[in-house]
Amino acid sequence: TSLALSAWIAVSLFDTLPTSVDEMVQLLHAGSLAGGRLALPLAGPEAAWAVQNGLLTPSGWTSVYPPGHTGLLALGLIAGVPWLVGPIAVGVATAVFALALERLLDGVRVARLAALLVAFSPFWLLLGGTHLSHTSAAAGGALVLWTSLLARDGSAKWGLAVGASIGLFVLARPWVGVVVSTVVVLAVCLPPVLTRVRTRSWGLRRLASTLGGGAPFAFLLLAWNQKLFGHPFSMGYTAAFGPAHGLGLHVGPWGNHYGWLEALAYTGADAVQLSAHLLETP
């Protein structure tokens, strides 16, 4: 249902076109990947390529984005339907959320009602109709939750799936993926150890398999950064806007102050905005 409705929105409302500079730039970079190049060779004056969230490198023009969602868009371009990447990602995320909710909540009816609220959320569906990396990140986050529950209730081998899910999430949106995945995995798997329902070795086995599952994705991200931005730990945004765009409490590239009070204020504003947007009501 989510896939179909998001696809309908992508076609009828957005005409299968990108609607923001983020989507346009990432789609252009995906076109380069689909053509077999990590970066586009510059044609014409360099000033013509000075677009927001784009970057001129020795290899050519590239976007500032990590490889996850860009690679999925490239596959969509090869298949001739890049606009379907968002709806498919949201469809996967909704399905996996539904499965996870049945393990999280008491009662199948409550879980399925909650899943229906996700499936028909206007905010969720409108997001699914875009080319934004939020969609693949949502799928990755949902997979992290579901596989963590499977690892908690089943074999330690499920940790490999947890690690791969974290890898997909991080390749789409690195810092969000790291923070959210850490919180989700600890919230699911730490309580059984702390309450001594499970032993420490039980937790360590799952941690080891999670690291193993995520290692290939980490290597891909580091290699991408090294090739395009000159250092394995240099993200595209930092390469484009300088060290002031990095993490920490400091003044940003545009003179905005980021301290503890600002962190609290921004987080509160984001929470209120998300609450209003999920069902378009306070």
Strand 60-63 versus strand 250-251 pairing type: unpaired
- 129: Cβ–Cβ under 8 A, 6 or more apart, which residues? 6, 7, 8, 9, 10, 13, 14, 86, 87
Task: Give me the pLDDT at residue 182, please.
Answer: 96
pTM of the model: 0.91
Average pLDDT over residues 243-271: 91
pLDDT of 281 higher than 60: no
Mean residue pLDDT across the chain: 93
Residue 97 above 80 pLDDT? yes
Quick one: CA dihedral 78, 79, 80, 81, positive or negative?
Answer: negative
pLDDT recorded at residue 268: 94
Per-residue confidence (pLDDT) for residue 50, from 0 to 100: 83
**Residues 128, 9 contacting (CB under 8 angstroms):** yes
Averaged over 136-164, what is the pLDDT?
96
3-state helix, strand and coil shares in percent for the chain, rounded to the nearest 5: 70, 5, 25
